[in-house]
Amino acid sequence: MKLNDWIKNNTIHHSQFWDLKKLVEEKEKQGLKISLCLPTLNEEKTIGKEIVMFKSELMDRYPLIDEIAVIDSGSTDNTREIAATFGADVYLSAEILPQYGEKKGKGENLWKAVYELTGDIIVYVDADIKNIHPRFAYGLVAPLIYRPEVHYVKAFYDRPLAFSQGVRPSGGGRVTEILTRPLFSLFFPELTGLVQPLSGEYAVRREVLEAIPFPIGYGVETSHLIDVYEKWGMEAIAQVDLDQRVHRNQETRDLGKMAFGILRAFLFRAEALGVIGTLPELSTVLKQFQAHDEEFEQISHTIVEEERPPMLELPEYREKFGIK
Amino acid sequence: MKTDFTNIEEILASLPSLPDKLTAVQETLIANLIMLSEIPAPTFEEEARVALLLQRLVECGLDNVSSDEAGNGVGVIPGKDPSRNILLVAHADSIYSNRVDHALSVLADEIVGPGVADNSLGMAVLATLPTIFEALGIQLDANLVLLCSTKGLGRGNLDGLRFFMDNNKIPFEAGICVEGEKLGRLSYTAEGMFRGHISCKLSEELDWQRVGQNSAIIALNDVINRILEIPIPRRPSTSIVLGAIRGGKSYNVMATQSSLRFEVRSEDADMVRAIRERIDAIIADVASSHSAEIEFTVVASREPGGIDVTHPLVKSCRQVMEALDVRPTIRPSMSEVSELIARGLPSVTLGITEASNLHDLNETIRINPIYTGLAQLLAMLFAIDGGFCNETE
C-alpha cells in the first residue's frame, strides 16, 4: 500500500462515529466484548472524572464498554479509592501475576491488563486527561468494530486554530518530532504516516496484544508500532483524530529520560529485525547536568527498558483463555 | 415507585428511602454536570451550553424539545393530564468568561471547578430528570416543563426568563427554581432591587493648574461619599451594596475615567424608587462641581413581592425539608423566582447540595448531599402534582 493511500484511508476523524447507537448494535452483532484500561500512578485529580464519564456514557447510556479497569502502579494519593468509588474495577499491578515479579512502568500495567481484562478489544486511555470526553474511547474502538482488517488504532490530536491559508503545521509533541519521526524516517519510513506515534490512547485487538512483547517503560508505544507493522502490515493500523487533549506539560529533562527509553527500545527492535547491524552493549544510564554556583555536576538516571514477553508464552495466560 | 399520593403525609413517608434510590443515577448526573459545566456560558453567550442540554434531553427520548428567540432551552416530560403544567427553571449563565479554564475535578466526595454550584448543578439536574423518572418509574399527572433560562445574571436582568414568560401560552400551576447551592435554601419572596452603573469621564486634556485636585477618581469618590450619606432605614429592610469599582491608569497619571457598580435592595418598592431619585440628584450635583461627564444607568431591576409563609407551597417545602433532616435557610431572592412571583405564579427556589468557595475558581460541591437535594425536589414535584400546594379558595 502506498503511504499516501494509507494516510488517506486509515486516518479518520472521530466525528464519523457520532452514532453510538449504531456502533453498539454492530458490536453486539459481532458478539464482541470491550475492555477499557486506565493505567494510573497518582492521578487523583483526573481519574474520577474519566471513570464517571465513560461509565455514564459508554456503559449506562450506550453499552459499548463491558468493563472499566484501573491498573495502578502503587499510587500514594487517593487514586485507587476514587476509582473504586465511581465503580471501576481497581487492580494493583503488583498483584496481577505476582509470580512474575513487579516492575515499574506504564508498559508493565498495559501488559498485565492483557491477562487481567477479558475483552476481545482493549482500549487504553491515559488517566491524566483534563478534558475527558467519551470520544476518547469510542473514537478508538469504532474502527475495530467497523473494519475487520484493522487491528491497532492509535489516537492523535489536532485541533486547528484559525488559519488563513490551507496549510498548517501538524504532528506530534517534542519527543515525536525530534526523536521518533527522524528514526522512523530512517528505518521504517511507512510508520512516519502516524501523526502522533507516542500518544497514550489506543485500542487493540486481543490477538495482537497477546502476541507482542511489552517494554515496561517509555518504549512501549514505539515498540508496539514496529511489531504490529512487521507482523500485520500498515493496513492493520489506523489513526483517529480526537481533537484537542489537555494534559500536564512535561519538563524538557523528563522528556530526555523518555527519549532515552524510547531510543533503547527502538534500537533493540531494529537489531532484532535485522534493520541495523549488531549493537554493542548499551548503557542504561542517562546523564544530565545540574549546577551549583559555578560548579557543574552530572546526575545519572538509570533507565532500564526491560521487556515482558508476549502473553501467549505464559502458561497462566493460555490456561485462563483456554488456548491450547 | 408509587407516584399517586392522596396526601402530603404519604409523600413524606416515602422520603427516607428516596436518597438511596437516587444514587443509581450518580454517573449520569455527574457526567451531565461535567459536560455542561465545562462549556463556558457567560451571560449572553449561553448558546453552546443550552444546545448540549437540549441534545441530552433529546437523547433521553423527550419529543418536545426546543429553544426560543431568547436562547432559552425548553424540554417537556409529558404527564398523564396534558392540561396541567409545572415549571422547573435553572439558569444557564455563569459569571465566568470563556477565557477561564472550566475544567472540573471529580474527587471521591467533592467536585471542584468554576460555576459548578452556580448553576451547572442546577442545569445538570434538569438534564438528568428524564433519566431519574425512567429509573424510578415516575410519571406525573402534570407535564413537567424544564426551562433552562438565559441572560439571568447581572446585566442580563432575567431577560431570558422574562421572554419565556411573556411569550409562552402554557398555564403553569407552580414553579420551582433549581440552584446548585445550597441544600435547605428556600426562597419565596423577592426584594425590590436595582443595579446601577455610574461612569465618570473627564476631558483628556490635562489641566496643569489643577493637577492633584481633579480626577475621575476624586469625582467618583465624591459620588460614593454622597451615596453613603443616604439614610438607610432598618424597616423596611434596605441596603446599598457597592460591588465593584474601576478607574485610572497608573501612579502618576490623572484618571480620566472611573466607574462604580452597585446594587440597591429593599422590601419596599417606594424606598427603592426614593433612593434612585436621590442618586440621580447626587450625580447632577457632583457632575457640575467637577465639570465631569457622569452617567448613571440602571442595568437591572426587580419589583418586590412574594408568596406568604403560610402558602401551602411554602408549607410543603418546610415539611419535606424536615422529613429529610434539612434545615431550611429562608432568604429573599433576586433571581428567577422573583420574576415568577411578580407574575403571580406561586414559586420557590430550592438548593441541591452543600457548596463552598462560591464564585471562586475552586467552587466546590459535595456529592453525597445531592441525593437528599434531589429527593427534596422530587417530593415537591409530587406535592405540586398531587394538588397539595394549591391555596384554598
Mark which residues 233-262 of A lie under 8 Å from B by CB.
246
Position A159 scores a pLDDT of 58
| β-pairing verdict for A67-72 and A89-92 | parallel
Look at the domain B192-302 and name its fold: Alpha-Beta Plaits (3.30.70)
Report CA-CA distances (Å) from B70 to A256, B20, B47, B299: 54, 38, 10, 18
Q: What is the pLDDT of residues A237-296, one digit of tens each?
A: 999 999 887 766 778 888 999 999 999 999 999 999 999 999 999 888 999 988 888 888
B166 pLDDT exceeds 60? yes
- The DSSP annotation for A236-302 comes to GEEEEE------PPPPHHHHHHHHHHHHHHHHHHHHHTTSS----PPP-EEEEEEEETTEEEEEEEE
B345 pLDDT exceeds 80? yes
Looking at chain B, the whole-number percentage of residues with pLDDT higher than 70 is 97
Look at the domain B8-190+304-385 and name its fold: Aminopeptidase (3.40.630)
Q: What is the pLDDT of residues B44-72, one digit of tens each?
A: 999 999 999 999 999 999 989 999 999 99
Instruction: Residue A56: list chain B partners with CB under 8 A.
Output: 27-28, 30-32
B258 pLDDT exceeds 50? yes
The full set of domains in chain A, from first to last, is 3-320 (3.90.550.10)
Instruction: Residue A80: list chain B partners with CB under 8 A.
Output: none
Position A239 scores a pLDDT of 97
Determine the average pLDDT of the residues in A146-165.
Answer: 80
- Across the interface, whether the CB atoms of B107 and A57 are under 8 A apart is answered no
Residues of B with CB under 8 A from a CB of A: 26-28, 30-32, 34-35, 38, 59, 103-109
Residues A55/A18, Cβ–Cβ less than 8 Å = no
Q: How many CB atoms lie within 10 A of CB B368?
A: 12
- Indicate which of B23, B26, B27, B32 best probes the interface with A, i.e. most A CBs within 10 Å of its own CB: B27
Determine the average pLDDT of the residues in B325-336.
Answer: 90
- Nearest-CA distance A10 → chain B (Å): 29
Position B212 scores a pLDDT of 57
pLDDT band at B211 (very low <50, low <70, confident <90, very high): low
- Across the interface, whether the CB atoms of B106 and A52 are under 8 A apart is answered yes
Position B84 scores a pLDDT of 96
Which residue do the cell numbers 433521553 mark? B60
Q: What are phi and psi of B178, to 5 degrees?
A: -110, 125
Structural domain spans, chain B? 8-190+304-385, 192-302
- Indicate which of B26, B106, B367 best probes the interface with A, i.e. most A CBs within 10 Å of its own CB: B106
pLDDT band at B139 (very low <50, low <70, confident <90, very high): very high
Determine the average pLDDT of the residues in B122-151.
Answer: 96
- Across the interface, whether the CB atoms of B106 and A82 are under 8 A apart is answered yes
pLDDT band at B111 (very low <50, low <70, confident <90, very high): very high
- Nearest-CA distance A36 → chain B (Å): 17
Nearest Cα neighbor of B53 from B118, B117, B149, B174 is B149
Position A173 scores a pLDDT of 82
Q: Which chain A residue's Cα is nearest to B31?
A: A53
pLDDT band at B387 (very low <50, low <70, confident <90, very high): very high
Instruction: Residue B26: list chain A partners with CB under 8 A.
Output: 52, 86
Q: Does the CB of A42 have a partner CB in chain B at under 8 Å?
A: no
Closest partner residue to B108 among A61, A81, A130, by Cβ?
Answer: A81
Which helix (H) or strand (E) element contains residue B364? Answer: strand B364-366
The rounded mean pLDDT for chain B is 92
A161 pLDDT exceeds 50? no
Position B208 scores a pLDDT of 57
B288 pLDDT exceeds 50? yes
pTM: 0.82
pLDDT band at A1 (very low <50, low <70, confident <90, very high): low
Determine the average pLDDT of the residues in B277-296.
Answer: 90
Joined together, the cell numbers standing for residue B62 give: 423527550
Residues A141/A54, Cβ–Cβ less than 8 Å = no
Closest partner residue to B27 among A44, A86, A131, by Cβ?
Answer: A86
Mark which residues 199-238 of A lie under 8 Å from B by CB.
none
Half-sphere exposure in the Cβ direction for A161 (13 Å, CA):
1
Q: Which chain A residue's Cα is nearest to B61?
A: A61
CA B209, distance to chain mean position in Å, is 50
- Nearest-CA distance B287 → chain A (Å): 46
- Across the interface, whether the CB atoms of B107 and A246 are under 8 A apart is answered no
- Across the interface, whether the CB atoms of B34 and A53 are under 8 A apart is answered yes
Position A169 scores a pLDDT of 61
B380 pLDDT exceeds 90? yes
